[in-house]
Structure 1
Amino acid sequence: MKKIGFLSFGHWSDTPYSQTRSAADVLTQSIELAVAAEEVGADGAYFRVHHFAKQLGSPFPLLAAAGARTSRIELGTGVIDMRYENPLYMAEDAGAADLIAGGRLQLGLSRGSPEQVIDGWRYFGFAPAEGESDADMARRHTQVFLDVLQGKGFAQPNPRPMFPNPPGLLRLEPHSDTLRKRIWWGAGSNATAVWAAKMGMHLQSSTLKDDENGKPFHVQQAEQIRLYRDAWKDAGHEGTPRTSVSRSIFAITNDQDRSYFGRDGASRDQIGFINETRSIFGRSYAAEPDQLIKELAEDEAIAEADTLLLTIPNQLGVEYNAHVLDAIIKHVAPALGWR
């Protein structure tokens, strides 16, 4: 069994063919798509977080609203840029959203990606400490966030409070007892995957990573997952870690699919540079179900991961994206042993 969810970047634009012309459109349709995804049998609704862009930016109101409208599907992020986050305020928001959702949040965090503005986190009031990089700052914020999610008291109570306090140091409220076990890290390299394992976080691996040995993307990603699992075991953590990979996959089952994605079948891995680091970008998949099954069977990273997140074209609307998910779940997943 493999969990299958969607990952939405939450774009909107006032263009002729977009069904998301505004932020309100994206937010309401994201909730509706989570409901529709649950109805077609998907396991997860995940949302990307970007700042200073016409994309989803504040995940917790959205996750809480989707949690109130659904009952089974996992709700998550892929990923929250921790350079921008006040970890204590974030812990309160996350705790509230998780309680509304009945303990279904799966929060993906990371050090972030290239931004729309220069050092955008400075506008949010954050700066690296002396000797730190922005990546170090993101990991420091993450460590604080993970610590407060443990639910241990750390704040000295006021001897004359407005309301009675429980004995001892106070923790943040509302607190979700199990959320700490459902935190993921989006790793772009083998080293950060190993670090995530040591920290006791699950692993999210996207459609790109550092090109560390020149092998095909799916092979490098599978190697990353295996290194992560070894590091988790070496760290002595309890339980089985989860791993996810993201892919753009479209089963062509009608003329509309063909018009949108019929030319994507020749997609190949690509090489580029992110922050001066050589990176490899994984291919997309688009074909009729029988051919798609053959191609996906050769993807080593999908085989290694327990969760597959399908990146969706959210501007094509709820109905079409529900169809995209339904086609994979019904026509592709069973033949590959995912269902």
Structure 2
Amino acid sequence: MKKIGFLSFGHWSSQRGSATRSAADVLLQSIDLAVAAEELGADGAYFRVHHFAQQLSSPFPLLAAIGARTKSIEIGTGVIDMRYENPHYMVEDAGAADLISGGRLQLGISRGSPEQVVDGWRHFGYAPEAGDTDQDMARSHALRFLTLLEGDGFAKPNPRPMFPNPPGLLRLEPHSETLRERIWWGAASDQTAIWAAELGMNLQSSTLKWDESGEPLHIQQATQIRKYREAWKAAGHKRSPRVSVSRSIFAIMNEQDHMYFGQGRPERDQVGVIDDQRAVFGRSYAAEPDQLIEELKKDEAIAEADTLLLTVPNTLGVDYNTHVIESILRHVAPALGWR
């Protein structure tokens, strides 16, 4: 059994054929898609975060709105770029959104992906310490965020406050008691997956990974997941970790599906260079259900993970993306034992 959710990149465009022509379209349709996915029985609604782009950026207003409109579906990110984040303000936003949703937030955080601008985090007022890299800064922000989520008091109260204070040092409010256990790290390498395990974060492995062995992505990811679980066990955490992988999977059910995805989709991984590092990009899966089932049986990383996030073409609109999700839930997942 697997949890199955969707992952939206939140694009909007004025190009012909786009159903999301503005930021308002994307935000409102994201809420509607989460509601529709919940009605289908999907387990998660996840969103990418990109700054300086015509995509979703600040996630918490959207997550809170979805939390208020839904009852059971998990609501998350994949991922928030911690180079841009103030950990204190983020704890308040995340705590509020989690309480609104009744404890359904699943926050994926990480160093982030290549940017639209040069050193965009500098425009947000952040810079690495002397001798550090932007990756170091992202990890530093993440560590502070995790510490603040513990809820321990750290701020000296005013002796003459406007309102009465509880005794002792004060923490940030509102506080969610369990959110610390629902933080995920998006790991592009084996070593960062191990680091995440040691810190008690769940693991997100996307459709891209640093190419550390020259093997297909799904094999490298499966190795990464096993190393992560070994590190988790060695760290002595009491709860079981969660692991997600993301995939572009499309069941060809009709002529419209065939038009969009039935031809010209890469059937093997692609290799490229990002930030001067060799990276492997996962293939897309697009076929009629019977063939799709046979191909997915060979994906070792999906087999290792407990959560699968289906990337959706959000610019094609809510109705079509509902169809995409439903096709996998109804015609593919049961045959693979995911449902």
Fold shared per TM-score above 0.5: yes
Task: Provide the rounded CA distance (Å) in 1 between the counterparts of 2:79 and 2:132.
Answer: 22
Corresponding residue of 1:220:
220
Q: How many aligned residue pairs are there?
A: 339
Corresponding residue of 2:64:
64
Task: Provide the rounded CA distance (Å) in 2 between the counterparts of 1:29 and 1:215.
Answer: 38
**Structure 1 residue runs without a partner (length 5+):** none
Deviates more, 1:127-136 or 1:57-66: 127-136
Corresponding residue of 1:35:
35
Task: Provide the rounded CA distance (Å) in 2 between the counterparts of 1:290 and 1:31.
Answer: 32
Corresponding residue of 1:88:
88
Listed one character per residue, the Cα deviations across residues 288-307 of structure 1 (whole Å, up to 9, x for unaligned) are 00000000000000000000
Structure 1 position 74 matched with structure 2 position 80: no
Structure 1 position 261 matched with structure 2 position 261: yes
C-alpha displacement of 1:113: 1.0
Corresponding residue of 2:54:
54
Listed one character per residue, the Cα deviations across residues 131-154 of structure 1 (whole Å, up to 9, x for unaligned) are 111000000000110001001100
Superposition RMSD in Å: 0.6
Q: Within 5 Å, give how 1:106-125 maps onto structure 2.
A: 106-125=106-125
Amino acid at match of 1:128: P
Give % identity: 75
Task: Provide the rounded CA distance (Å) in 2 between the counterparts of 1:105 and 1:28.
Answer: 19
Task: Provide the rounded CA distance (Å) in 1 between the counterparts of 2:200 and 2:266.
Answer: 38
Listed one character per residue, the Cα deviations across residues 114-144 of structure 1 (whole Å, up to 9, x for unaligned) are 1000000000000001111100000000011
**Structure 2 residue runs without a partner (length 5+):** none
Deviates more, 1:128-137 or 1:263-272: 263-272
C-alpha displacement of 1:238: 1.1
Corresponding residue of 1:26:
26
Listed one character per residue, the Cα deviations across residues 297-338 of structure 1 (whole Å, up to 9, x for unaligned) are 000000000000000000000000000000000000000000
Corresponding residue of 2:133:
133
Instruction: Please tell me whether the aligned partners of residues 87 and 142 of structure 1 are also in contact (alpha carbons under 8 angstroms).
Output: yes
Q: Within 5 Å, give how 1:123-162 maps onto structure 2.
A: 123-162=123-162
Listed one character per residue, the Cα deviations across residues 207-266 of structure 1 (whole Å, up to 9, x for unaligned) are 010111111111000000000000001111111100000000000011110111011565
C-alpha displacement of 1:267: 1.8
Task: Provide the rounded CA distance (Å) in 1 between the counterparts of 2:144 and 2:211.
Answer: 30
Instruction: Please tell me whether the aligned partners of residues 185 and 196 of structure 1 are also in contact (alpha carbons under 8 angstroms).
Output: yes
Structure 1 moving runs of 4+ over 2 Å:
none
Task: Provide the rounded CA distance (Å) in 2 between the counterparts of 1:277 and 1:227.
Answer: 21
